Amino acid sequence: MRLLVVEDDPILLRQLRERLGTEGYAVDAAIDGTEAAFLGSNEPYDAIVLDLGLPRRDGLSVLRSWREEGLSIPVLILTARDHWHDKVLGIDAGADDYLAKPFHMEELLARLRALIRRARGHASSELRAGPVVLDTRTGTVTTDGQPLDLTGYEFRVLSYLMHHAGEVVSRTELTEHVYAQDFDRDSNTIEVFIGRLRKKLGGDLIKTVRGLGYRLEIPPDDAP
């Protein structure tokens, strides 16, 4: 899952990047409204954290222009503590959730997980495909109840496929959601991650769809 974090406070931005990185997200950062507007419109994020008070262009106007363009990515806004009115304006402008500063990192993480899940139509925080269960709260994966040891990138690939279970996901799409923008991307390594995941997961849960990409199969008894 790949996030855009927009925050002009360098200390908070660093904390957010570090923590979200440890939680397994690929994170791009923007420090002003103009850069944010550009990245949000051009890169395929899974969610955006948007501070409202920004230099060059304020967060509300950025959010409004995204929604006018038809961008439906979940957006969580950060508001100043005493500016309750900003929350109302933010939600009216198309924010999906908000947090007032200062906030607890754990709360931000929980809200982001919920936003990403709901955007994909998942009500539960546990994603399931046959014997494989991914707990989005703890970032752990089990097969038949046994914990699975995955590297950060293997987790990101599996998490993206599980959020999109039953759909064909192209290699390019996976690449775009697994790596941050400044990373030297190589779509061939996606194949390597898929190979390792197949070995670790056993069975043939991840299908190759010739010429199109990959699909994580939903076994019949798990279908909604």
Q: Which residues bind Ca ion (CB under 5 A)?
A: 8, 51, 53
Cβ 1 vs Cβ 46: under 8 Å: yes
Q: Of 222, 192, 20, 213, whose CA–CA distance to 110 is shortest?
A: 20
Residue with nearest beta carbon to Ca ion: 53
3-state secondary structure of 214: strand
CB nearer to Ca ion: give 47 or 50.
Answer: 50
Structure token pair of residue 35:
């850069």
Residue listed under structure tokens 């991307």: 185
Nearer to Ca ion, 79 or 159 (CB): 79
Give the closest residue to 39 by CA, choosing from 147, 182, 191. Answer: 182
Cβ-based nearer residue to Ca ion, 35 or 51:
51
Rounded to the nearest whole angstrom, what is the least distance from the CB of residue 12 to Ca ion in the complex? 8
Q: Distance between CA atoms of 170 and 194, rounded to whole angstroms?
A: 12
Least Å distance, CB 116 to Ca ion, is 24
β-strands 206-209, 168-169 pairing: unpaired
Beta carbon of residue 53, minimum distance to Ca ion (angstroms, whole number): 4
In the bound complex, what is the minimum distance in angstroms from residue 34's beta carbon to Ca ion?
A: 14
Say which residue the tokens 């998490």 belong to.
Answer: 159
Least spacing, CB of residue 68 vs Ca ion, in Å: 23
Residue pair 50/26 in contact by the 8 Å Cβ criterion: no
- Considering beta carbons, is residue 83 or 113 the nearer one to Ca ion? 83
CB 146 → Ca ion: shortest distance, Å? Answer: 45
Give the residue with the Cβ less far from Ca ion, 23 or 51: 51
For 215, the enclosing helix (H) or strand (E) is: strand 213-216
Nearest to Ca ion of 50, 132 (CB atom) = 50
CB atoms near residue 32 (< 10 Å): 15
CB atoms within 10 A of CB 117: 18
